[in-house]
């Protein structure tokens, strides 16, 4: 077996180490559930610490190999492998998009867009590394000294990815890691591992040498924990929740690894009244507020789950928003015409229900949703569906406003002045992303400059560019993905100082 997905079944050899597809050493497996109906539709290997050790050993051997090893492969040749991978992703777009939709519960169109973004990431990092100069020459003030600063790969990278955007988040780590010359072991979420398994197959098809790309499917408390602490791992990059991220950081600290953490957000979407002064402006702001909150059923680290709207337009805005939220068509993501799929698991839905119940108990007003939809032909009873929910009259003391829900829940807060809007938007422990809607260009620049978030959108929500860094302030994590800084995360910096005319220096007698 080669790890390929065939029909409805997943080959059990989903652990890839040293160029070979393997079962778990213990023989353990895990069923992968379809969130649309709660039924198993694939089986994957359930690896543990021993499988991690095997994969890290393979990655270490591939990194430490001789002259032709991946770290010593010319940058342009590494870039060619990444470009071929991008081409293969485009070739398999429909199959991979459908797999991503079914595994994670998103709509088929969302799955397709994800694959396009994955291909873009591989192509961007290929172009970036291929165009680089070999090093930065430093003026040492003497013709007898040649001084240059160069960048070298870290070594073996442990890449731990989340369940909401399995392939996209994997690509943000794998593409720069490979471009920089590293080898890696990736651990996808045990809930949504299937598309990452396929990506490893495509990397092999693209010509990546054996041992450079390795994958261990399994749970975080064994596979993720061992990767974080492993002495032969030089960097761990993690995307996920704050609690798990701090555990990763503690484990990595024991061996002083490089660490990159993207830990989510509680993202404000600030709407000024002047953005709604025209019918087109009003319609656009409402439409984008829906997209911000309910794309992928709100299971997005950058979801605009906090609507902060100017008091003078709040009632009209929220009334229209709630009416449109009630019209969103919920169902199996692969069904024609469905606009939002199920949540990824029963546990995630139950967590969302708990947040909504606590908000209502604390005085929030339910304007839309707040319950599970009735089962139907396109919403099987066993699926993890929850209606898009709008909670009005919210305030900062509510858990639902302070904490990351990661579900289809939008809270509404109001403001009267620009300063109050900024204060509300920044009143969070997180700082991943936010948006400001206004027709006043000066105000847009002022507010964007004052928001303490890693990405600020003006009159838009959710777009990203692979050329621009992604990451947050505060408890949203450390380090950056994408852009030149995303490549720098996977490198060490070395200063090479060459004395072209060495001569004795008599510091000591004799």
Q: Residue 477 corresponds to which tokens in the numbers above?
A: 């994590």
**H-only helix segments in 182-278:** 194-205, 225-229, 242-253
Residues 6+ apart with CB under 8 A from 394: 359, 364, 400, 401, 411, 412, 413
Specify whether the backbone of 451 is left (phi greater than 0), alpha (psi in -120 to 50) or beta. beta
How many angstroms separate the first and last alpha carbons of the chain? Answer: 70
Q: Is residue 401 within 8 Å of 306, Cβ to Cβ?
A: yes
- 3-class SS of residue 157: strand
CA pair distance 21, 19, nearest whole angstrom: 7
Q: Residue 369 corresponds to which tokens in the numbers above?
A: 């949703």
Q: Is residue 492 within 8 Å of 151, Cβ to Cβ?
A: yes
CA geometry: angle at 169 spanning 69 and 302, to 5°? 150
HSE-up of residue 507 (Cα within 13 Å, Cβ side): 0
Q: Residue 221 corresponds to which tokens in the numbers above?
A: 């408390």
CB atoms within 10 A of CB 221: 11
Block residue for tokens 């172009």: 127
CB atoms within 10 A of CB 71: 18
Catalytic positions = 262
Indicate the length of the chain as a whole number: 510
Q: With CA atoms as reference, report the closest residue to 366 among 398, 406, 412, 407.
A: 412
Q: Is residue 35 within 8 Å of 28, Cβ to Cβ?
A: no
- Written as one string, the DSSP assignment of 329-392 is -BS-TTSTT--B---S-HHHHHHHHHHHHHHHHTT-EEEE--SPPPPBTTB-TTS-----EEEE
**CA dist list (Å): 348 to 70, 161, 342, 352, 363:** 40, 17, 10, 6, 23
Helix (H) or strand (E) run with residue 502 in it? none
Block residue for tokens 């620049």: 445
φ/ψ of 496, rounded to 5, equals: -110, 115
CB atoms within 10 A of CB 446: 15
CB atoms within 10 A of CB 315: 12
Q: Is residue 298 within 8 Å of 356, Cβ to Cβ?
A: no
- What is the distance, to the nearest Å, from the Cα of residue 312 to the centroid of all Cα atoms in its chain? 36
Q: Residue 19 corresponds to which tokens in the numbers above?
A: 């160029």
Residues 6+ apart with CB under 8 A from 65: none
């Amino acid at each position: 077996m080669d790890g390929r997905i065939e029909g409805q079944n997943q080959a059990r050899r989903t652990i890839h180490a040293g160029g070979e597809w393997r079962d778990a050493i213990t023989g353990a497996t895990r069923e992968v559930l379809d969130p649309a109906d709660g039924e198993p539709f694939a089986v994957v290997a359930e690896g543990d610490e021993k499988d991690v050790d095997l994969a890290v050993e393979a990655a270490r051997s591939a990194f430490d190999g001789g002259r032709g090893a991946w770290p010593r492969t010319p940058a342009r040749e590494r870039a060619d492998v990444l470009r071929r991978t991008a081409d293969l992703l485009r070739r398999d777009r429909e199959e991979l998009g459908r797999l991503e939709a079914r595994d994670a519960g998103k709509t088929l169109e969302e799955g397709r867009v994800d694959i396009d973004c994955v291909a873009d990431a591989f192509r961007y990092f290929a172009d970036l590394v291929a165009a680089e100069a070999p090093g930065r020459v430093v003026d040492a003030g003497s013709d007898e000294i040649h001084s240059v600063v160069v960048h070298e790969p870290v070594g073996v990278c442990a890449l731990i990815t989340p369940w909401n955007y399995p392939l996209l988040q994997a690509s943000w780590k794998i593409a720069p890691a490979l471009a920089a010359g590293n080898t890696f072991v990736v651990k996808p979420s045990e809930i949504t591992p299937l598309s990452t398994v396929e990506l490893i197959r495509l990397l092999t098809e693209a010509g990546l040498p054996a041992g450079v790309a390795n994958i261990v499917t399994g749970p975080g408390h064994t596979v993720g924990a061992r990767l974080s602490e492993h002495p032969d791992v030089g960097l761990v990059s993690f995307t996920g929740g704050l609690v798990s991220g701090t555990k990763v950081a503690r484990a990595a600290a024991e061996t002083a690894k490089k660490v990159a953490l993207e830990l989510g957000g509680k993202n404000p979407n600030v709407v000024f009244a002047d953005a709604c002064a025209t019918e087109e402006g009003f319609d656009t702001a409402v439409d984008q507020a829906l997209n911000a909150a309910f794309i992928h059923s709100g299971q997005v680290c950058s979801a605009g789950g906090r609507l902060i709207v100017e008091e003078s337009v709040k009632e009209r805005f929220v009334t229209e928003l709630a009416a449109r939220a009630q019209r969103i068509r919920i169902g199996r993501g692969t069904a024609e015409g469905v606009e939002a799929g199920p949540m990824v698991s029963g546990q995630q839905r139950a967590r969302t229900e708990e947040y909504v119940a606590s908000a209502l108990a604390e005085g929030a007003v339910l304007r839309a949703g707040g319950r599970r939809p009735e089962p139907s032909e396109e919403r099987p009873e066993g699926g993890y569906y929850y209606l898009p929910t709008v909670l009005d009259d919210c305030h900062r003391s509510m858990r639902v406003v302070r904490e990351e829900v990661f579900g289809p829940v939008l809270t509404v807060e109001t403001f009267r002045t620009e300063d109050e809007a900024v204060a509300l938007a920044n009143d969070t422990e997180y700082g991943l992303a936010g948006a400001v809607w206004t027709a006043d260009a000066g105000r847009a620049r002022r507010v964007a400059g004052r928001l303490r978030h890693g990405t600020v959108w003006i009159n838009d929500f959710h777009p990203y560019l692979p050329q621009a860094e992604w990451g947050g302030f505060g408890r949203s994590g450390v380090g950056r993905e994408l852009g030149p800084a995303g490549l720098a995360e996977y490198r060490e910096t070395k200063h090479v100082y060459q004395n072209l005319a060495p001569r004795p220096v008599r510091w000591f007698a004799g």
